[in-house]
Amino acid sequence: MALLSLLVSKPSLKTSLLYLTSHLIPIIPSSPLSSHCTTSTFPLPSQSPPVPKKLPFNISAHAKTWQDPYHWMRNAKDPDFVDYLNQENSYAQAFMADTQNLQKILLEEMKNRLPAQISTPPERWGHWLYYQYIPEGKEYPVLCRRLETEESGLLKTLLNYAKGHFGMEQVLLDWNQIAEQYGYVHVGTCRVSPDHNFLAYTLDITGNEQFLLEVKDLSNGYIVSRSQVDGVVSLAWAQDSTILFYTVSDENQRPYRVLFTKVGSDEIDDVPVFTESNSSFCVDITSTKDGKFITVNSNSRTSSEEGIYLVYVIDATNPLDGLQRVRERVSGVRYFLEHHYGVFYILTNAPLSESEELSDGNYYLAQCQVEDIQSSDWQNIILPSEDMSFQDMDIFNGHLVLFVNKKSFPALCSVNLPIKFNSVKQLEIENLDPWFFPLPSNQCNIVPGSNHDFMNPVYRVVLSSPVMPGVIVDYNMSERIFSIVQQEKVRDISGDCGSCSLAYELDTSEHRDPLNNKEKNNLNIELQRWKDFSGAYCCKTKEVISHDGVRVPLTILYSQKAWQRGQAPGLLEGYGAYGEVLDKSWCSDRLSLLDRGWVLAFADVRGGGGHSLWHESGSGLNKCNSIHDFISCGNYLVSEGYVHRDQLGAIGFSAGGLLVGAAINMNPNLFRAAILKVPFLDACNTLLDPSLPLTLLDYEEFGNPQIQSQFESILSYSPYDNIPRDACLPSMLVTASFHDSRVGVWEAAKWVARTRDITCSHCSRSVILKTNMTGGHFGEGGCYSQCEETAYDYAFLMKTMGNSFQHSFSHLADDWSIQKFVYFEDEKHENSC
């Protein structure tokens, strides 16, 4: 269901800003797990790992001086550095040579689970139906549309789609053609013009995230001729469909300026509209759902409530009239605007009165007339209930959609518009007769669909959980019914799925909202219609007590049949930065571990999402909390018997690599193996260099090392600076991308070089560095190439887990009927899979 996100033309107000947020988006005593080198149970390559050169280089800060002999790697163009990366790739290839057949088996499993056709159901926007699909045998999606005739309703369209009778289509954008032309493709933003005649999109063809702006004339399929503009981040159309607003980044990749261009005009230079001179702020633009206004948002980069926020509005019908500011910039106060027939709805945390202090991230909804937007007193207020908080909103012709956190779980509700206050100035959400969308479980991940059409009473979402493949659901807010439109197909799945189907067909049956009837029995009957694999896989959430007594959510996933208490290998994932929620949605690739008896666990450590205080308590001077949380979750998995005491692995992506790397330094015996993907490891040195892209913006998240207290905090956990000397570290797969503009390729290289230099010489031979010499921070991105990468990662884990390497296949004999063969060096192991 990841396809749906590519089509989004109107992002949610708060999440549209989170794209800018992640450039990465007391010590617990070590457990005496092993007194010998971890590499003793698996073969090592005959060749020795590369030994890079060391050059003297001193770094000084706050009266402290230390040496960094690998500082020279910062020059990624140095031929010696490129040669070193190639040597490391050769060593990684030699290390993984005995897993080639295993990788092939894993890859075949993952590809076989993919449906023959990957596509999204059509979604109406005006007179058009937009949809996407991945052509058979291709890596990337194709964005298409077809004109909807007046006599064909949406239900008929969906049924025709299910039967394959979908008529002629117009291809708007084919990612595969771009990839074949340039060798790499990453489409950042797509925006269809209000008259549906143009498609504006941003394109990265190198991996460095310097996105080019392109505009396609949909009437003839040609790219509109214009001077090249790169570094483009966000886009917004004016109502006349000829003026396009966009933001560009500075040399540090900070979106800082808004300009507009006239599509098809002979004018050479685009016109600047707004420039943010403060280097700590990013600029983002978006349109209100009805297209009447464009908002220009200048804000600090993280979701911290300590940030400062400023919003301007542009009248999209008269876009050359200039900007109008929404109130003064006040520290900690944030605004998110939508428009509905002359009325602004503002999601904000501003104090309700001059005597009231800023709330702890608790948002409420304000209403005011367009002409009163600069008023210091917004009179009409909608408040959440005591057990609820507002997170985001979306708006339509007849309905307001609120994203809420209800009793610590995500939820959605709609209220009818317009809202009449009469003589009452404050209302609670319960006073508005909200309809809470029925959801399958509290563990459900909710992702809004594109939902372009302001006039549509149907709200589309994608629901998913660790045990439920993504399901697209349409919620009819007028009739308060919902329809299951499509659920992700999963083929060749092993294990007893209970009442679950192996292949999901289109289900357009409508379900009455049981919450309206207050009938619990009806609720249970309706929720059984959600198809999941909870009969085959167990998913539970536990609360783990961290070092300071704080309870940390830990989601644990395992096979009901294959898992063995106290004997299972396990993999713990964490992120813990930028207020981002750890993704726990369905992923069929995980079945290759689960069906072999593995436990997969997700640690929602502090610094991540949930609420603002959770983020703040794991960032800046509090960053060590997230590391202790992660270690506590690892210890819990072992002590409670979910994972064997010597079979725990860890994985972290980007800023999550910092989390895992720091946890390994603090407690090297806890983990048997680890995977660090494009990891942020050289935190102190990177943050000390303000010339590097995104460094200044990261001061809010990790701290400003120019301030001594923050410098000492960063230095205390920076993974590169705290590698324990002479220690036996776990086996590690460290990945990097040469053109990564968010995390320098040298960070992973320096970490690996120093680990080999100062830790156990035998154990460090199982630390490998694999660098993508052509890609960027997000890798290649194609569906099959992602399977290949995951198969490689899983093969590394299975090899380095020692005895579990062979044991991990034993559970497949009862579940699969296909004979497969696994080869390791000169031994042949026949497994009934």
pLDDT tens-place string over residues 159-217: 555 544 455 889 999 999 999 999 889 999 999 999 999 999 999 998 888 999 999 99
Of residues 216 and 808, the one with the higher pLDDT is 216
Residue range 628-633: mean pLDDT, rounded: 98
DSSP codes, 296-355? EEEEESS--TTSEEEEEEEETTSGGG-EEEEEEEEET--EEEEEETTEEEEEE---SSTT
Instruction: Output the pLDDT for position 816.
Output: 32
Dihedral sign, CA of 23, 609, 543, 571?
A: negative
Identify the three-state secondary structure at position 449.
coil
pLDDT value at residue 570: 98
pLDDT bin (cut points 50, 70, 90) of residue 280 is confident
pLDDT at 17: 34
Reading the block at residue 365, the tokens are 């909804």
Q: Is the pLDDT reported for residue 126 higher than 70?
A: yes
Q: What is the pLDDT of residue 515?
A: 40
Q: Mapped to the 3 state alphabet, what secondary structure does 472-525 carry?
A: EEEEECCCCEEEEEEECCCCCCCCCCCCCCCCCCCCCCEEECHHHHCCHHHHHH
In this predicted structure, the answer to whether residue 656 has a pLDDT above a threshold of 90 is yes
Q: What pLDDT is stored for residue 601 in this prediction?
A: 98
Arithmetic mean of pLDDT, 718-728:
97
Choice among 53-57, 426-430, 498-502 with the minimum mean pLDDT = 498-502
Mean pLDDT, range 557-565, rounded to an integer: 97
Assess whether pLDDT exceeds 50 at residue 21.
Answer: no
2's tokens: 């990841």
Residue 230 carries which DSSP code? B
What is the sign of the dihedral through the CA atoms of 162, 164, 170 and 171? positive
As given in the structure block, the two tokens for residue 115 are: 């449906």
- Two tokens, residue 345: 């709805």
Q: Which residue type does 23 have?
A: H
Task: Give pTM, 2 decimals.
Answer: 0.87
Name the pLDDT band for 506 (thresholds 50, 70, 90): very low
pLDDT of 406: 85
Contact in structure between 413 and 436 (CB atoms under 8 Å): yes
pLDDT at 40: 63
Percent of the chain with pLDDT over 70: 82
DSSP β-ladder status, 648-653 and 599-603: unpaired
Burial of 677 (0-12, 13-18, 19+ CB in 10 A): buried
Residue 740 token pair = 């990564």
pLDDT over 70 at 337, yes or no: yes
Q: In Å, what is the CA distance from 405 to each residue of 123, 328, 411?
A: 27, 29, 6
Calculate Rg over the CA atoms of the chain: 27
CB-CB contact of 173 with 142 (8 Å)? yes
- Give the Cα separation of 75 and 79 in Å (integer): 9
Question: Which pLDDT band, with edges at 50, 70 and 90, does 823 fall under?
Answer: very low
Point out the least confidently predicted range of 86-90, 323-327, 357-361.
Answer: 357-361
Q: What pLDDT is stored for residue 663 in this prediction?
A: 98
pLDDT tens figures, 224-247: 988 889 999 999 999 999 999 999
Residue 332 binned pLDDT confidence (cut-offs 50, 70, 90): confident
Looking only at the bridges linking them, the beta strands covering 648-653 and 673-677 are parallel
CA distance 433 to 742: 45
Most confident range, picked from 145-154, 307-316, 361-370, 391-400: 391-400
Residues 289-302, mean pLDDT to the nearest whole number: 87
Which of 23-37, 41-55, 135-149, 544-558 has the least mean pLDDT?
A: 23-37
Distances (CA, A) of 580 to 20, 210, 328, 434, 640: 12, 23, 28, 28, 28
> What whole-number distance in Å separates Cα of residue 501 and Cα of residue 498?
8
pLDDT at position 812 is 44
* Residue 3 clears pLDDT 60, i.e. is over it: no
Averaged pLDDT score across all residues of the chain: 84
Amino acid at 767: V
**Residue type for 491, please?**
R
How many Cβ atoms sit within 10 Å of the Cβ of residue 447? 19
Give the pairing type, strands 458-465 and 445-448. Answer: antiparallel
Q: Which two tokens stand for residue 40?
A: 């003793």
pLDDT value, residue 331: 76
Nearest to 261 by CA among 215, 309, 296, 196: 215
Helices (H) then strands (E): counts for the chain: 18, 43
Which pLDDT value is given to residue 613?
86
pLDDT of residue 22: 35
Position 832 confidence tier, pLDDT thresholds 50, 70, 90: very low
* Residue 25, pLDDT above cutoff 60: no
Q: How many CB atoms lie within 10 A of CB 115?
A: 15
SS3 content of the chain, % helix, strand, coil (to 5): 25, 30, 45
Helix (H, G, I), strand (E, B) or coil at 584: coil
Using CA atoms in the order 801, 807, 811, 817, what is the torsion angle rounded to 10 degrees? 110
- The token pair at 497 is 């799925």
Q: What is the secondary structure of 79-146 as a DSSP string?
A: HHHHHHHHHHHHHHHHHTGGGHHHHHHHHHHHHHHS-S-EE---EEETTEEEEEEE-TT-SS-EEEEE
- Both ends of the chain: CA-CA distance in Å? 28
Q: How far apart are CA 391 and CA 775, in angstroms?
A: 34
In this structure, which amino acid lies at residue 494? S
Q: How many residues does the chain have?
A: 833
Q: pLDDT tens for residues 684-701?
A: 999 999 989 888 889 989
Nearest C-alpha neighbor of 628 from the set 663, 658, 582, 586: 663
What pLDDT does residue 632 have? 98
Amino acid identity for residue 608 in this structure: G
Structure tokens at 808: 């991990």
Single-letter amino acid code for the residue at 685: N
Range scoring the smallest mean pLDDT among 120-129, 519-528, 818-827: 818-827
Angle, CA 567 vertex, CA 638 and CA 791 arms, to 5°: 95
Beta bridge partners of 215: 200
Contact indicator for 458, 443 with CB cutoff of 8 Å? no
Average pLDDT in the 624-644 region? 98
Per-residue model confidence (pLDDT) at position 266: 73
Q: Report residue 352: phi and psi, to 5°.
A: -75, -15
51 or 37, which is more confident:
51
806 sits in which H/E element: helix 804-807
Give the tens place of pLDDT for each residue, 407-421: 878 899 999 999 988
pLDDT at 219 over 90: yes
Tokens of 443: 């563990």
**What is the mean predicted confidence (pLDDT) over 452-467?**
96
Distance between CA atoms of 693 and 742, rounded to whole angstroms?
Answer: 7
| Rounded distance between C-alpha atoms, residue 586 and residue 507, angstroms | 20
Least confident of 435-444, 476-485, 600-609, 819-828: 819-828
Query: Distance between CA 327 and CA 335 in Å, rounded?
Result: 10
The structure tokens listed for 676 are 């660090």
By CB neighbour count within 10 A (0-12 exposed, 13-18 middle, 19+ buried), where does 123 fall?
A: buried
With beta carbons less than 8 A apart as the criterion, state whether 341 and 653 touch: no
pLDDT for 108 beyond 70: yes
Mean pLDDT value of segment 542-559: 97
Give CA 278 to chain center in angstroms.
27
In terms of Cβ atoms closer than 10 Å to its own Cβ (0-12, 13-18, 19+), residue 203 is buried
Adjacent-strand bridge partners of 294: 287, 314
Collapse the DSSP code of 416 into the 3-class scheme (helix H, G, I; strand E, B; otherwise coil) and give the result.
Answer: strand
Amino acid at 580: E
Cβ atoms 709, 736 nearer than 8 A: no
Q: How many angstroms separate the CA atoms of 783 and 779, rounded?
A: 11
pLDDT of 775 over the 90 cut: no
**Is residue 392 pLDDT above 80, yes or no?**
yes
Average pLDDT of the segment spanning 307-336: 86
Return the higher-pLDDT residue of 117 and 686.
686
How far apart CA 511 and CA 812 sit, in angstroms, is 38
Look at residue 156 in the predicted model and tell me its pLDDT.
Answer: 60
